[in-house]
Amino acid sequence: MPLLATGIKLVTDTTENESSTVVELLASQVRRDISFGVLLPDSALNIDNLAQEYGGSAKYLQEALILLSEEALVEVDSHKGFRVASTKRTSINNLEQVRIEIECIGLEWSLKNGNIHWQGSVLKAQQSLLKTFSQVQFDPQNFFLDWEESNRHFHNSLLAACDSQRLIAMQDRLYKQGSPLRQTELEENRIDFQLCIETLNALVNAILQQDIDSAKHYLKTFIRCEGKISNGH
Q: What is the pLDDT tens value at each position of the chain, 233 positions in all?
A: 344 444 444 344 445 566 778 888 888 888 878 766 788 888 899 988 988 888 888 888 988 888 888 777 788 877 778 888 876 544 555 678 888 999 999 999 999 999 999 999 999 999 999 999 989 988 888 899 999 999 999 999 999 999 999 899 889 988 888 887 788 888 888 888 999 999 999 999 999 999 999 999 999 999 988 765 333 33
The Cα 109–Cα 212 span in angstroms is: 9
Q: What pLDDT is stored for residue 150 in this prediction?
A: 96
Q: Which of 84, 114, 139 is the last residue before a domain boundary?
A: 84
Do residues 9 and 54 both lie within one domain?
Answer: yes
Do residues 119 and 221 both lie within one domain?
Answer: yes
Do residues 100 and 46 both lie within one domain?
Answer: no
Which CATH number covers residue 57? 1.10.10.10
The Cα 215–Cα 157 span in angstroms is: 14
Q: What pLDDT is stored for residue 17 in this prediction?
A: 62
Question: Which one, of 218, 227, 200, lies nearest residue 133 by Cα?
Answer: 200
Do residues 135 and 222 both lie within one domain?
Answer: yes
Boundaries of domain holding 192: 89-231
Do residues 28 and 135 both lie within one domain?
Answer: no
Which CATH number covers residue 146? 1.20.120.530
Do residues 95 and 200 both lie within one domain?
Answer: yes
Considering its fold, how many domains does the chain have in total?
A: 2
Do residues 187 and 113 both lie within one domain?
Answer: yes
Do residues 27 and 103 both lie within one domain?
Answer: no
The Cα 53–Cα 208 span in angstroms is: 48
Coil/strand/helix, residue 162: coil
Do residues 54 and 153 both lie within one domain?
Answer: no
Q: What pLDDT is stored for residue 226 in this prediction?
A: 76
Q: Which of 50, 84, 118 is the last residue before a domain boundary?
A: 84
Coil/strand/helix, residue 116: helix
Q: What pLDDT is stored for residue 94 in this prediction?
A: 67
Do residues 69 and 102 both lie within one domain?
Answer: no
Do residues 162 and 142 both lie within one domain?
Answer: yes
Q: Which of 63, 84, 105 is the last residue before a domain boundary?
A: 84
Residue 215 near residue 111 (C-beta atoms within 8 A) = yes
Residues in Cβ contact with 15 at an 8 Å cutoff, skipping those fewer than 6 apart: none
DSSP-assigned beta bridge partners for residue 75: 83
Do residues 176 and 222 both lie within one domain?
Answer: yes
Residue 82 near residue 51 (C-beta atoms within 8 A) = no
